[in-house]
């Protein structure tokens, strides 16, 4: 049984459709991310699960129980807010104890669980501090402890790392993932940061304009995007426009023919290839015939340290290539004639 299940969920705010007939099932114990640009409906989806919004249509279930119209305090989920939303008039310990007090647990048990929760986030020594006396990262951890201490069936996280600086964010990403594996609670994580989603998630759902476009493991989403939006939103990608010639061949705008796998369903197709899947060769390298090749000229080179980026003009098509800066790499110069070469499997067909 899925931990969270949304069936045909629609949410309207007046004329605006924030979430549009969304179907989603999050497995038990899974780290699931909702990824998308701001305004795509991911936060509204999270709020529908939390109970801060009620669906206009459709069904919200948690472990099979319909909760769509129940208020937040009657749902077995807890939330970590983007702004942390700590209670400023209470100490750290009082913040963490709040949910347990509301459930009228015996005070000895509350004290014990609060202590353990603060230990877990390494803040036992700040138990009597006020939230305003803590750093952003510490406030973040209090918010996490406050939600996890209630042992929810599902933990909802709304861009919880958004306000932290890069170093701290990366450290917290690892910490969060470790924590999730340790406590074994289902996480539903909302973010607009694709790197964050790829790093932490078991599965990712990519959203745009209130719709769920693709759901899959990080490698599925990255390697085999099914739509132009998903391909473009996650990482850098070359989108090559062309016309289908036969089931395996696409003629690009510039006239070059390339091989693609999978049956293109329409005559006009877009082929998506990651820059790091492309390789630069010279004519003299004699690439094997099964590889796709586009002759072109380097028009820009970008040195990034671990990788070197090239922009290559292939007569009508401009592609971006990233080569790993390994020893023995032939570094090209602007103006060099090159062959852009890749395995046919590396290119996927995406729909608009």
Can you give the binding site for another protein, defined by CB under 8 A?
A: 50-52, 71-73, 77-79, 81-89, 98-99, 102-103, 130-132, 136, 139, 146-147, 150, 163
Question: Going edge to edge, which strands form the sheet with 337-342?
Answer: 279-281, 337-342, 292-303, 307-313, 318-324
Nearer to another protein, 72 or 295 (CB): 72
Nearby residues of 203 by Cβ (< 8 Å), 6 or more positions away: 26, 27, 30, 31, 32, 33, 215, 216, 217, 218
Q: Are 338 and 312 in contact (CB under 8 A)?
A: yes
Nearer to another protein, 14 or 305 (CB): 14
The minimum distance between CB 231 and another protein, in angstroms, equals 34
Q: Are 15 and 165 in contact (CB under 8 A)?
A: no
Nearer to another protein, 169 or 293 (CB): 169
The minimum distance between CB 1 and another protein, in angstroms, equals 23
Tokens of 4: 């969270």
Q: Are 10 and 57 in contact (CB under 8 A)?
A: yes
Nearer to another protein, 89 or 182 (CB): 89
The minimum distance between CB 24 and another protein, in angstroms, equals 20
Rounded to a whole number of angstroms, the distance between the first and last alpha carbons of the chain is: 33
The minimum distance between CB 143 and another protein, in angstroms, equals 8
Q: Are 26 and 2 in contact (CB under 8 A)?
A: yes
In angstroms, the Cα distances linking 35 to 211, 222, 233 are 11, 13, 9
Residue 35, classed as helix, strand or coil, is strand
Nearer to another protein, 59 or 82 (CB): 82
The minimum distance between CB 61 and another protein, in angstroms, equals 18
The minimum distance between CB 288 and another protein, in angstroms, equals 55
Nearer to another protein, 79 or 180 (CB): 79
Query: How crowded is residue 246: how many other Cβ atoms within 10 Å of its Cβ?
Result: 8
The minimum distance between CB 122 and another protein, in angstroms, equals 19
Nearer to another protein, 155 or 272 (CB): 155
72 DSSP assignment:
G
């Amino acid at each position: 049984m899925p931990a969270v299940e949304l069936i045909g969920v629609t949410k309207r705010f007046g004329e605006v459709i924030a979430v549009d007939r969304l179907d989603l099932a999050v497995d038990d114990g899974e780290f699931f991310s909702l990824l998308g640009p701001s305004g795509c409906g991911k936060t509204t989806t999270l709020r529908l699960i939390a109970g801060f919004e009620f669906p206009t249509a459709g069904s919200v279930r948690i472990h099979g129980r319909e909760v769509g119209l129940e208020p937040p305090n009657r749902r077995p989920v807890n939330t970590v807010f983007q702004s942390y939303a700590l209670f400023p008039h209470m100490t750290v310990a009082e913040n963490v104890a709040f949910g347990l007090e509301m459930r009228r647990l015996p005070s000895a048990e509350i004290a014990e669980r609060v202590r353990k929760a603060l230990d877990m986030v390494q803040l036992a020594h700040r138990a009597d501090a006020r939230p305003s006396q803590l750093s952003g990262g510490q406030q973040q951890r209090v918010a996490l402890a406050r939600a996890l201490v209630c042992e929810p069936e599902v933990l909802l996280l709304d861009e919880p790392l958004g306000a932290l600086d890069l170093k701290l964010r990366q450290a917290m990403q690892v910490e969060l993932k470790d924590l999730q594996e340790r406590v074994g609670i289902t996480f539903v994580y909302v973010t607009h940061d694709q790197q964050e989603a790829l790093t932490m998630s078991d599965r990712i759902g990519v959203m745009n304009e209130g719709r769920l476009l693709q759901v899959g493991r990080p490698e599925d989403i990255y390697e085999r995007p099914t739509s132009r939006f998903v391909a473009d939103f996650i990482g850098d990608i070359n989108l090559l426009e062309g016309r289908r010639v036969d089931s395996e061949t696409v003629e690009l705008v510039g006239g070059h023919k390339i091989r693609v796998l999978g049956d293109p369903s329409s005559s006009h197709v877009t082929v998506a290839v990651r820059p790091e899947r492309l390789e630069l060769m010279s004519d003299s390298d004699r690439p094997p015939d099964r590889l796709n090749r586009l002759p072109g000229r380097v028009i820009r080179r970008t040195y990034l340290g671990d990788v070197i980026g090239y922009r290559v003009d292939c007569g009508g098509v401009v592609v971006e290539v990233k080569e790993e800066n390994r020893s023995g790499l032939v570094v090209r110069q602007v103006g060099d004639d090159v062959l852009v070469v890749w395995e046919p499997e590396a290119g996927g067909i995406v729909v608009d």
